[in-house]
């Protein structure tokens, strides 16, 4: 009798989590007026200066913007980094900062440049070059890895490793073919904050293996405790080689539609990145950069927004308590909830919870499994988790929490 043939592993659904969510709830009428807590889109009021600055800068729409960004914008980003972090030396605005069309675009396209720069080390090897992604992860990381022709290796994160990849558990053979490591701090969605020691060890690991460390710091200003999250540039020291920090105005300044961000760090990498951007990447219109300059120079609106997030999590602490595995995160604006008690009927806990909340409460949330994949352990550890975005004003956030607690009971 022939040996049984093992069933092939199911093909993973790599579409946007929001497309998958739309299909999950398609045809299901919301039980109450629809309210979305699915997208991480800040709904706080825009800073008052946005309109006047944009109006004054309107003539800039009549010019093609330069790929690297205006000197004024790059100087503002460098100045903000110098003031925000304890750096070994000032950032060189001319060599160590580039404008991005939002951090997502940069996190994607940087993978292509990293692959090209590391190609001589990986050419001729039997195994594909790899990029290491935390699980769950921002979809742009995997898209960039795959566009670069690399294997997106999904690395587990666990509660006992502070929801960050366990650096000591990484296989040396895997690291030998690694092109880049993606780290998000505060993490999306768990809100975990990487310590300076952790970031330093991650950068040392990247350097030792000739890889780049891509540090996604777009939630850096939404921290819920007293301590500011450290950044990769302050642990890198005077030598920024292999260290790249990505940030934007979307979360910090509640300007997701501005599509303006920056990358700072390794000047040799940024020289190649700029050459790529001149022919392949979207440029940031000058008037939008002018708004970003004003935003980077003002901390009052950032403090007010951060205080509002803290108030919302104070409310979550009281209304959710210890249920659903809830813990107040270190940063970010997501609830990350264990809904394994709802799994069944062919649905994961996250899917069942999202469907139930929509059907009964009209509340739109995201199944955690849609934000993750099977990792190197062979499982998707987020299938029984649910992500909820606390991005609204205080009264609307209270309504989100009320519907959430009622619907999950």
Give percent above pLDDT 90 in the chain: 91
* Residue 5: per-residue pLDDT: 38
Which phi and psi angles does 43 have, rounded to 5°? -110, 10
pTM: 0.95
> Of 377, 368, 306, nearest to 337 (Cα)?
368
Question: Across all residues in the chain, what is the average pLDDT?
Answer: 95
The answer to whether residues 141 and 152 touch, using CB atoms and an 8 Å cutoff, is yes
Mean pLDDT of 44-56: 97
Q: What is the pLDDT of residues 300-311, one digit of tens each?
A: 999 999 999 999
pLDDT value at residue 182:
98
> How many angstroms separate the CA atoms of 192 and 87, rounded?
22
Q: Read off the pLDDT band of 291 (50, 70, 90).
A: very high
Q: Which pLDDT value is given to residue 281?
A: 94
pLDDT tens-digit map of 353-406: 999 999 999 999 999 999 999 988 788 999 999 999 999 999 999 999 999 999
- Residues forming beta bridges with residue 132, ordered by sequence position: 153, 181
The domain 17-40+301-408 having CATH identifier 3.90.1150.10: the answer here is: yes
Domain borders along the chain are: 17-40+301-408, 59-297
State mean pLDDT over 162-166.
93
Check whether domain 59-297 has CATH 1.10.287.3510, yes or no = no
- Helix, strand and coil in the chain, % to nearest 5: 45, 15, 40
Q: Specify the DSSP class assigned to residue 12.
A: P
The pLDDT, as a whole number, for residue 9 is: 44
Q: Tell me, what's the pLDDT at 376?
A: 80
Q: Residue range 243-260: average pLDDT?
A: 98
As a whole number of angstroms, the longest Cα–Cα distance in the chain is 80
What is the C-alpha to C-alpha distance for residues 258 and 288, in angstroms, rounded to an integer? Answer: 6
pLDDT for 6 equals 39
Domains 17-40+301-408 and 59-297 share a fold: no
């Amino acid at each position: 009798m022939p040996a049984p043939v093992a069933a092939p592993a199911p093909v993973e659904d790599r579409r946007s989590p929001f497309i998958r969510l739309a299909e999950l709830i398609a045809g299901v009428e919301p039980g109450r007026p629809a309210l979305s807590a699915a997208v991480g889109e800040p709904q706080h009021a825009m800073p008052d200066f946005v309109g006047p600055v944009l109006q004054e800068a309107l003539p800039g729409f009549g010019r093609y913007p330069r790929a690297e960004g205006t000197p004024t914008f790059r100087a503002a980003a460098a100045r903000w980094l110098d003031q925000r972090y304890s750096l070994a030396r000032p950032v060189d605005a001319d060599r160590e900062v580039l404008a991005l069309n939002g951090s997502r675009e940069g996190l994607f396209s940087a993978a292509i440049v990293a692959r090209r720069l590391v190609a001589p080390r990986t050419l001729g090897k039997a195994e594909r070059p790899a990029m290491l992604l935390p699980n769950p992860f921002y979809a742009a990381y995997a898209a960039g890895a795959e566009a670069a022709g690399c294997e997106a290796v999904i690395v587990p994160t666990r509660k006992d490793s502070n929801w960050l990849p366990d650096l000591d558990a990484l296989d040396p053979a895997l690291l030998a073919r690694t092109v880049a490591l993606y780290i998000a701090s505060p993490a999306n969605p768990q809100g975990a904050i990487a310590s300076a020691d952790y970031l330093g060890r991650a950068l040392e690991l990247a350097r030792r293996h000739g890889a780049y460390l891509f540090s996604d710091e777009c939630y850096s200003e939404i921290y819920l405790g007293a301590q500011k999250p450290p950044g990769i540039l302050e642990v890198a020291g005077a030598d920024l080689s292999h260290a790249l920090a990505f940030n934007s105005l979307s979360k910090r300044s509640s300007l997701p539609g501005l599509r303006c961000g920056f990358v700072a760090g390794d000047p040799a990498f940024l020289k190649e990145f700029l050459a790529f951007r001149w022919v392949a990447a979207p440029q940031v219109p000058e008037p939008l950069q002018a708004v970003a300059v004003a935003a980077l120079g003002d901390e009052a609106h950032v403090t007010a927004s951060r205080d509002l997030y803290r108030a919302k999590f104070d409310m979550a602490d009281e209304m959710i308590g210890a249920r659903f595995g809830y813990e107040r995160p270190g940063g970010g604006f997501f609830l990350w909830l264990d809904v394994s008690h709802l799994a069944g009927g062919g649905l994961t806990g996250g899917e069942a919870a999202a469907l139930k909340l929509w059907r009964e409460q009209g509340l739109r949330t995201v199944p955690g499994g849609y934000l993750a994949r099977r990792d190197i352990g062979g499982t998707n550890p987020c299938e029984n988790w649910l992500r909820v975005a606390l991005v609204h004003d205080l009264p609307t956030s209270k309504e989100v929490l009320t519907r959430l607690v009622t619907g999950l009971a």
